């Protein structure tokens, strides 16, 4: 079983984990049961700071789409991904979007062709681009895209987006781990030097 420890390249580790799933015949596109199993394996691979990060930052979190508000008149989370065509997106009021989602909404052609760049990616487990919708783990309750409560759309359960946020967050966490390792070595060298100085002084 693969294990991830802070200090490793998170993107490279995800590639290795994906290959492990492939060799183990765990196809994320097969069914929900297989995806749940992959998520379970992923969690068991996290060790040390990586496990702590998951427990405090992601476990039991919902997923806030910071660029999509909750008055889009779309019934649920999947309906955002399932918008029929460019006109369907363009017909949603522009004030329901921010950032890249707003940019795409404002630049799609007014026709019935399929949307070239979906606001929300299909759930394929690996390499899902959530940068358009915006993404933020949150303790806030789920909030449907048609709730009209004056907030952002919040999807229940973070499993769909886990690998995307893992890759981005652990680039930072891995760098921090490397710095901690460097400082620990410096502290060890300092203490060894101080002990030697104390011994020399007592002679």
Q: pTM value?
A: 0.70
- Following CA atoms 45, 47, 162, 137 in sequence, which dihedral angle do they give, to the nearest 10 degrees? 160
**Winning range, highest mean pLDDT, from 5-9, 28-32, 80-84, 180-184:** 80-84
pLDDT, tens digit (0-9, with 9 covering 90-100), for 45-95? 888 877 887 888 888 888 899 999 999 999 987 888 888 899 999 999 999
Average pLDDT over residues 177-203: 53
Alpha carbon distance 140, 123 (integer Å): 22
The pLDDT assigned to 191 comes to 58
- Per the CB < 8 A criterion, the answer to whether 131 and 117 are in contact is no
* Pairing of β 136-138 and β 62-69: antiparallel
The pLDDT score that the predictor gives to residue 197 is: 55
Q: What's the pLDDT at 183?
A: 40
Q: How confident is the model at residue 172 (pLDDT cuts 50, 70, 90)?
A: very low
Whether the per-residue pLDDT at 1 is higher than 70: the answer is: no
């Amino acid at each position: 079983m693969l294990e991830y420890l802070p200090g490793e390249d998170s993107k490279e580790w995800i590639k290795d984990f994906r290959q492990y799933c492939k060799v183990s015949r765990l196809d994320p596109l097969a069914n929900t049961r297989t995806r749940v199993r992959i998520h379970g394996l992923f969690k068991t691979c996290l060790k040390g700071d990586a496990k702590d990060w998951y427990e405090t930052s992601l476990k039991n979190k919902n997923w806030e789409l910071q660029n999509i508000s909750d008055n889009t008149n779309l019934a649920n989370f999947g309906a955002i991904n399932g918008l029929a065509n460019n006109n369907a997106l363009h017909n949603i009021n522009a004030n329901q979007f921010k950032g890249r989602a707003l940019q795409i909404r404002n630049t799609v052609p007014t026709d019935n062709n399929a949307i070239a760049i979906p606001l929300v990616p299909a759930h394929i487990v690996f390499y899902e681009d959530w940068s358009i919708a915006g993404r933020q783990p949150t303790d806030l309750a789920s909030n449907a895209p048609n709730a009209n409560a004056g907030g952002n759309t919040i999807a229940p359960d973070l499993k769909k987006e886990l690998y995307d946020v893992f890759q981005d967050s652990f680039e930072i966490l891995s760098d921090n781990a490397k710095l901690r390792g460097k400082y620990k070595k410096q502290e060890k060298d300092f203490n060894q030097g101080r002990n030697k100085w104390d011994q020399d002084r007592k002679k």
